[in-house]
Structures are given as C-alpha cells and as structure tokens.
Amino acid sequence: MKNLHFIFTILLTAMLCACGVGPDYNAPSVPNTRSYTKNDNLLSKEQHLAIGKKLEVAWWSLFGSESLDRVIKQALNNNYDVVIAKKKLAQAEESIKSKSGNFWPQVGITGAVANQLYGVALFGPAPVNIPAFTYYELGPTVSWEIDLFGSTRYSVAQLEALAQYQARQLDAAYIMLTSSVVGQAIEIASVKAEITATKRIIAEDKKNFTYGKD
C-alpha cells in the first residue's frame, strides 16, 4: 500500500510539472545581411552605412534648421498615428505590470457599513426586541494565485511580446512621419529657391531689355 501511495505521489508530481511546462518561443534569426546593395561602390566617399546603429532620435537636427525643428515638433504633437501608437505602447506596458503582480501575494483591505434589524421570529417566544442598528466591518484581505501550470508566466510573455510589437509600431510611425515631413520641407524649399532664382533671371532680363532699348 505504501508503494502504491509513493508511486501515485511521483506520478502526480510529474503531471503537475508537465502541466507547468509549455513551449518556449524564440525570436526568429535575423538575416545575415551586411549591405543594402549588391555593389557598395555605389556610395560616394562622403556617404557610408552604419549597419546596426540605432537611428538618432532627432536625426533631422543635423540640418541645423530651426524652422524644420519647429515643423517636426508640431507634426509629432498633432499626428494621430504617433499619438495612438504611444497610447498603445503605454497600455501594453501597464498590462505587463498588472499581470506580473499575480506572481506575488495580493494584500488589500476591505470595509463595509450596513443597517441590521432582527425580526421577532429570530428569538421565538422570548420577549426580546433588538432595535435596528448599524454595524461596521473592516479587515485585511490576502490572496495569492500560485502559478503551478505556467498560465501567468506565458500571459506575461505574451504581453511582453505585444509591448515589443507596439514599440516597433511606434518607431515605424515616428520614422515615416519625420521622413515625410523632412522630404516635403526640402521639396518646398527647393521650389521656393527655384522661384527666387527665376525671379532674379526675369529681373536681369528686364534690365538687359531696358539697356538694349537705350
């Protein structure tokens, strides 16, 4: 009988351990690509690629234009895609904190206030009459959800993966917006420069035409 009890204990322990083990998810390997073109000679001596280097946050500041800085700041503060991406990332990070709290005991305090009135049937024929009264309850609460089967652990891992995804979404929205604004600003500046140059040419032509008539 003792042997059967021992075997049953071992089997139960093994089952619990097996239930707590789940698939280990690993990120896919990064492609071993060191360049964006087949021929690196396409770049001039002044240009170079920094593979693996993180893009500077305010990369447009390298242009040294205060007007461009103001436009970029305005675009980042008023673009719905960037604002929504920031909110989603913050939500995912808070979800991780909330779910991770289940690994530890939860301590709280509860309180209640209520009115109570005992009826005559409670005491039977005894001549007892207790008037209505107010009672108060106050006490601590302690709860702890032990993660035997790994449910909380994998839920946290899932939320962490979601937070990483939202972070990449924010980076993508940030880069797309800033690059689009800078591209539009450069195009507008180029058009303005062409207009200015055209006006100068017209002014010079008018002078030459006037001199020719004299």
pLDDT at 2: 46
pLDDT of residue 182: 92
Query: d(Cα 195, Cα 187) in Å, to the nearest integer?
Result: 12
| The model's pTM | 0.59
- Determine contact, residues 157/25, Cβ cutoff 8 Å: yes
Question: Which residue bears the tokens 């507008």?
Answer: 188
Cα dist. 183→10, 127, 195 in Å?
Answer: 68, 92, 18
What whole-number distance in Å separates Cα of residue 56 and Cα of residue 164? 19
Bridge pairing between strands 133-143 and 106-116: antiparallel
Q: What is the pLDDT along the chain (214 residues), one digit of tens a residue?
A: 545 555 555 555 544 444 555 566 677 787 777 666 666 566 666 666 666 666 667 888 888 888 888 999 889 888 888 889 999 999 999 998 888 887 787 788 888 888 887 766 666 666 767 778 787 888 888 877 777 777 788 888 888 989 999 999 998 898 899 999 999 998 998 999 999 999 999 888 887 776 655 5
